[in-house]
Amino acid sequence: MSETIQATDYGFPVPAFRFDQKNEMFKRSRWDEKMQVLKVRFYEDIKYREDIGYRKLDYAFRNASWNLEWGFGFGVSQSNAGLYSWDEMPAKWHHYLEVGDVVRESPEEMTQTIKKVAQFFGADLVGVSKVHPNWIYSHEFNTQTNEHYPIEIPEECDKALVMAIEMDYQAIRSSPTGVAGAATGFGYSMMAFLANAVSAFIRGLGYQAIPSGNDTALSIPLAMAAGLGEGSRMGLLVTEKFGPRVRLCKVFTDAPLLCDSYHPFGVVEFCKDCQVCAINCPSHAIPQNGMTTEGWNISNQPGVRKWYVNAERCFAFWAKNRMDCTDCVRVCPFNKPPGLLHDLVRAVIRRTNLFNRSFVWMDGLLGYNKPIPAASFWDNH
């Protein structure tokens, strides 16, 4: 069993080793023979259905939402490419700055400025984290070339600006259809734009900036350290404002920034009482039992005590459904949009876990764990 480093600077444990991106589930589908049937079924053997949410129209909607990421971002396939290039600077910018010519502000002012710009470009949540080296992948698996090689970021880029983008609430409620898939894809396309634009701004100030989507490093612990949320039973980040209904990107930089800190607000304790995501997971990939330090397979990074999701089972359902699935996000009680009642419940959860089971019961009674037809999206927009 791997030991953990009790990283007091972060407020939660850090794995004792770096994760090889080759073992991430979607990367495995490109090289692992056991996953080939599932890969073909999900990525290639598309069969349209008459059901709303699975028609050619719905696939076109889902695919269009991904277009910026698939065509220009490349964050799901490789690092340091496209909109996630580590050092791209348009030639027309070069005459504005001399080498080493940096905009100098205090760390407080610099942090406030860059966060303001990130929010302007579309970040719904933004924080700064000190980067632990074990959150950087040990190796990258490039799905464009099928190459597998070590990956490092410059040592001086020891801080990460972590940004969250909200996914559409009504669209996600139709999971696991193409309408919900469009909410996911649009999140990824926005990630590429946001990380690129913020990186360009930071480089324009004279500092290094390395944009990252799903490439290069683990997003969830970085987001936790940046104060954006907590880990959960479903393995996703849960934010206080949007629950797990977010997509994450980050920018590594050497700019003088002030770091935020881990800000738990009752998610882990709530997850201990709530098994809604596990009960409603169509693939039974989310555990209903307690935390452990052991993963299910090589797609887990063991050693940290938490809930581990069986990605093999999850991807098997994606292949069966021929569409991605966000059912766990849809049914999570933290998923609700901001509002007086929802904000009041969040406030109570922050302070005590005495009413957690009651909140879960009320959530089911009100039907929040039930999907809405994809047709309602098309009818109401």
* pLDDT reported for residue 87: 86
Domain boundaries, the chain: 17-380
pLDDT above 90: percentage of residues in the chain = 91
**Cα–Cα distance, 204 to 226 (Å, whole number):** 23
Mean pLDDT of 20-41: 97
* pLDDT reported for residue 381: 54
DSSP-assigned states of every residue in 55-116: SHHHHHHHHHHTHHIIIII-TTT-SSSGGG-SS---GGGGGG--TT------HHHHHHHHHH
Mean pLDDT of 289-311: 97
Q: What is the pLDDT of residues 198-211, one digit of tens each?
A: 999 999 999 999 99
- Indicate the pLDDT class of residue 358, thresholds 50, 70 and 90: very high
* pLDDT reported for residue 103: 85
How is the beta sheet containing 159-166 ordered, strand by strand?
Answer: 125-130, 159-166, 246-253, 209-212
Q: Report whether 282 contacts 327 (CB < 8 A).
A: yes
DSSP classification of residue 152: -
Q: Report whether 213 contacts 273 (CB < 8 A).
A: no
**Cα–Cα distance, 380 to 376 (Å, whole number):** 6
* pLDDT reported for residue 380: 78
pLDDT of 283 strictly over 70: yes
Average pLDDT over all residues of the chain: 94
* pLDDT reported for residue 162: 99
DSSP classification of residue 22: G
* pLDDT reported for residue 100: 60
- Indicate the pLDDT class of residue 264, thresholds 50, 70 and 90: very high
Q: What is the pLDDT of residues 325-340, one digit of tens each?
A: 999 999 999 999 989 9
* pLDDT reported for residue 95: 56
Mean pLDDT of 98-114: 86
Q: Which tokens sit at 157?
A: 């880029």
* pLDDT reported for residue 1: 30
Whole-model pTM?
Answer: 0.95
Mean pLDDT of 250-260: 97
pLDDT of 158 strictly over 50: yes
